[in-house]
Structure 1
Amino acid sequence: MTRPCPGPRPVTSKPGWRAPPGATDCHMHIFGPYDRYPLSPGRGYTPPEASLAMYREMLSTIGLERTVVVQPSVYGTENEVSLAAVEALGRDRARAVVVVDESFDLAALRAMGERGACGVRFNAVSGNGTPLEQLKALAERLATLGWHLQLYAHSAELVALEALLARLPCPLVIDHMGGLQASAGGTADPGFKAMIRLLEGGAWAKLCGYRSSAGAPYADVDAMARAMIAAAPERCVWGTDWPHPSLASPEAVPDDGVLLDALGRWAPGEAQRQAILVDNPARFYGFS
């Protein structure tokens, strides 16, 4: 039996600052409706439904306009829920990052690309995903399409994979701040140093840091986030990770307004915020 987890907070606070026009949430998930999009039997947790209507309300509250829908582990390689979400949100304001394995040929990938997919996620943390052994072969396939590879891994895996990741033929996005934990050394962690080297070498980072933190207001990850921005200011993006799946208790579920306020600390200047929330995502995900 898979473990249950709480859903998103019913009320989101307004951030203390206003995001610029065209700001993008570069990491979120949709769950359900389950009668239409049943969960994978191989999943590691069972989330409550989290609908597009709920997400839109949250996004409006924090003042963002565009979205990158990321395929969650609970759906395995069945990507219909994520692709349908992009279609509902509109191709002018949404893209998808899907999960596939080596059985997906170029024709299958191109068909998903026509529906808004532009990258593939490897999730080495939550399970029920593509084996890391397939990473190199799939990266070569993605390079043919001009897609990117998004990696969610523990910091120790980042160290072990660094040499391979540095040689990938397609763009690399490092998810959830490299799986780093502030309590495990923060900027002194070997995984952090590997991540900075990868960023300096051309990788992208998602500044989605609450999973690296002991809790709100997430000040213990400030130094890591600022260092990532300094290493690659033109290759950092930000995401909520709404509805914040697989957490142990409702008390641990973040308030997305507080998360945006954390970004405001990491990027206090208007030009930095414009780059992270608007310009970098528009360039990378192809928003006009």
Structure 2
Amino acid sequence: MKKILITGANGQVGSELKDVFKDRVDLDTFFLDRNQLPLDQTAIIQDIFGMYQPDVIIHCAAYTAVDKAETEQDMADKVNHLASEEIAIYCRLNNVKLIAISTDYVFDGESSQPMLEDAPVAPINTYGITKLKGEQAIKKWQPESIIIRTSWVYSVYGNNFVKTMVRLMNEREEISVIDDQIGSPTYALDLAKAVAHILDGEQWIPGIYHFSNEGEISWYDFAAEIKNIKGIDCKINPIPTASYPTPAKRPKFSLLDKKKIKETFGVVVPEWKKSLRYMLNKI
């Protein structure tokens, strides 16, 4: 029986993977949270994996507090970079397959075309820098890995834009949402299903892949559709990024090109509105 270890058990993707794998009798799955696998304690990571001896590691855990990372740079680097390096070294030494989740924040956001996997990387905040270093460490130590970059992740689990918008729209008569950052959201369940599909496939083709839902929208468009689906009476004002300064800069354009993952693995990528409606019906 194939043994699969998932990091970030309580994160959005990890939680959705629990649901995807829960009825699988052909798999032995281990979900580790930050207490069982403290990624900031890099010296013990390989020993912890040694207790489980997995065949595959799905590395979902990350330091994702984008603004906080600007003041907690060492912690972000430990979790996103140095821990990923330890995981990759373990995988190489023990012939373990690795799927790691990365981010659109490795790009600078200056493109006007959906970004291919080999587009130039130039992160503009600490989170993006540490995630890119993590990618580079994984490629160096375990070049047979699969890295999946994703963007604007939301889920029924954890804290995310969708749940925040529903709460704010119910609390207030009007809200303001940025309309000049462009990308596509990712329903974590769709990403979890894509990961499971790759694992179940006949072929393992290492490399970097992009996955988000289909479509090209702004955060304002995203909020407007949440309002529409939920039927909430709240006015949404579109505002520019300049009107909402944050400690960390955000990419203006982070639309990912998904051709490679679709053509290589036959992954089906749902349209963003369909996935959003499905998720909102669950909460």
Structure 1 length-normalised TM: 0.34
Structure 2 length-normalised TM: 0.34
Larger gyration radius, structure 1 or structure 2 = 2
